[in-house]
Amino acid sequence: MHRRVGEITHWQCEQRGECKARIHTKGMEIVKRTNGHLHAPDVQATACSEIKAGIKRKARDTQDGSHHIIGEGMLTAPEGTAAKLPKLDSLKRTIQRQRASVLSAPVQPTALSELVLPAEYQRTAKGAGLIKIMIFLKKSKKSDFFDLNQIFLI
């Protein structure tokens, strides 16, 4: 929980009802600290956010199925934490959202001039600059600009 007062941000402990710990920050620096925490750090909440972050990272960086990714995340969860994680459906939606943001497919071109190759498809895995891409056109995608069965080499 935080609130800005000019350049200073006031932070309250997440358990502010029971705990009086407060800090003031200016930029990245703690400028004032009042009261210590009256409780141990919430280890399970921290573990939960780490597991969720790991699931999001794997959704973006791997082709693994969502069950596999979630299963792996659960395996790393300390005792008692798995129950605090979001429900399976919600985790699956998180994975889908992450993937959609990375893999947003380019718009179907109707003219050669509209053909845009995203940067990540213009490099080989070894980072080489120029690669050749073959585009096969289906009958249904025929347009004035493409001849049927034509193969472009870019």
Cα–Cα distance list, 9 to 41, 57, 122, 136 (Å): 21, 30, 44, 56
Q: How far is the CB of 31 from Zn ion (least distance, A)?
A: 19
Distance of CA 11 to the CA centre of its chain: 26
Which residues, in sequence order, are bridge partners of residue 134?
153
Question: Which of these, 94, 81, 3, 79, lies nearest to 46 by C-alpha position?
Answer: 81
Q: Which is nearer to Zn ion, 21 or 23 (CB)?
A: 21
Q: How far is the CB of 23 from Zn ion (least distance, A)?
A: 11
Q: Which is nearer to Zn ion, 13 or 59 (CB)?
A: 13
Count Cβ atoms below 10 Å from residue 51 Cβ, excluding itself. 24
Q: Does 13 bind Zn ion (CB under 5 A)?
A: yes
Q: Which is nearer to Zn ion, 41 or 129 (CB)?
A: 41
Considering only 6-14, 25-33, 104-112, 142-150, which stretch makes contact with Zn ion by CB under 5 A? Answer: 6-14
Q: How far is the CB of 63 from Zn ion (least distance, A)?
A: 41
Give the binding-site size for Zn ion (rule: CB under 5 A): 4
16-75 residues near Zn ion, rule: CB under 5 A: 19, 21, 37
Q: Which is nearer to Zn ion, 10 or 37 (CB)?
A: 37
Q: How far is the CB of 32 from Zn ion (least distance, A)?
A: 16
Q: Which residues contact 151 (CB under 8 A, 6 or more apart)?
A: 134, 135, 136
Q: How far is the CB of 19 from Zn ion (least distance, A)?
A: 3
* Phi-psi region at 6: left, alpha or beta (left = phi > 0; alpha = psi -120 to 50): left
- 51: helix, strand or coil: helix
Q: Which residues bind Zn ion (CB under 5 A)?
A: 13, 19, 21, 37
